[in-house]
Structure 1
Amino acid sequence: MPKPILDAVAVSATDMTRAKTFYTLLGFEFDGGFVSDDHIEPIRRSGEPRLMIDSAALMEKLNGEAPRAPNHSVFAMLCDSPAEVDACVAQIKAAGFAVLTAPWDAFWGQRYATVADADGYRIDLFAPLEG
């Protein structure tokens, strides 16, 4: 019997425009993706799971309670280099979003940082240390 594969990661947003801005800073492209008032998905590159962003209002209607962001990372994104981690974090900070853990050289051999979208969903950014 085949095993299930990870197809999508979902977050919710109280402000869909602001969510789109944040995830664009992480490299997601929405032009040509699925966009509606209550659900957006950026273009999906071959081999990667979908990112689904639902409005908090829709999730409350479907689940009967308001969504809450976790206190740990929702997902992690591999960057090409330590410099890309730093640059991405700088863009996110300049746009007014939260940097929860500034980039640092982790003892396990990666440049690592944690950022948060406007609703508090956490995303780790990392890259192998050079050398």
Structure 2
Amino acid sequence: MVKQRISLITIGAFDLPMLRSFYQKLGWVETAFSSDSYAAFQTAGVMLTLFPVEELANDAGITLEKKPEKFHGVTFAINVDSAEEVDQTMDAIKEAGATILRKPSDAFWGGRTAYFADPENNIWEVAWNPSAVFDERGAMLTF
């Protein structure tokens, strides 16, 4: 049996200093684990790390393909506490230099959602779900 747990997500960075700078501009603080060649950010429930994509591919034992210019087939999400916070968060994200893909709008499922791409086209959703439940750290328990 495999434990049903996601504890760390690593984004392979084509330009680590540039991508690191973007997440710092969001106000995210790096942990003591960070170094010149590795950035680690503690989020509410999962560690988000940035690692040079060439080294990540080598570590996984795969051949690196060219840099994706469009959708990678994966999205990440930042779930917030109110509908208004979606708009406020997207304003801060835009100011940090993200590409806004979908402006905040009410969702058919009763919440509010928006999408952005970081400087290397990693796609993020910012969402408010009225039925979401978070623990004391802000980690989502259910929705």
TM-score (norm 1): 0.78
Cα offset for 1:95?
2.6
Mapped partners of 1:116, 1:94: distance in 2: 13
What do the CA deviations read for 1:65-91 (whole angstroms, capped 9, x no partner)? 146474444221111212221111112
Corresponding residue number in structure 1 for 2:13: 13
Match of residue 56, structure 1, among 32, 36, 53: 53
Q: Which runs of 5+ in 2 are unaligned?
A: 131-143
Q: Within 5 A, what are the aligned runs for 1:50-129?
A: 50-62=47-59, 63-66=62-65, 68=68, 70-128=71-129
What do the CA deviations read for 1:77-131 (whole angstroms, capped 9, x no partner)? 11121222111111221232101111110010111011111110001110135xx
SS at the partner of 2:3?
A: coil
Amino acid at match of 1:38: S
Q: Which runs of 5+ in 1 are unaligned?
A: none
Q: Within 5 A, what are the aligned runs for 1:15-54?
A: 15-30=15-30, 32-45=31-44, 48-54=45-51
The answer (yes or no) to whether the contact 1:22–1:92 under 8 Å persists in 2 is no
Mapped partners of 2:47, 2:99: distance in 1: 23
Mapped partners of 2:125, 2:78: distance in 1: 6
Q: Percent identity?
A: 27
The answer (yes or no) to whether the contact 1:33–1:43 under 8 Å persists in 2 is no
Change (3 A) 1:103 1:110: same
The answer (yes or no) to whether the contact 1:98–1:117 under 8 Å persists in 2 is yes
The answer (yes or no) to whether the contact 1:26–1:88 under 8 Å persists in 2 is no
Change (3 A) 1:125 1:27: farther
Cα offset for 1:26?
4.5
Mapped partners of 2:110, 2:88: distance in 1: 19
Cα RMSD, aligned residues only? 2.4
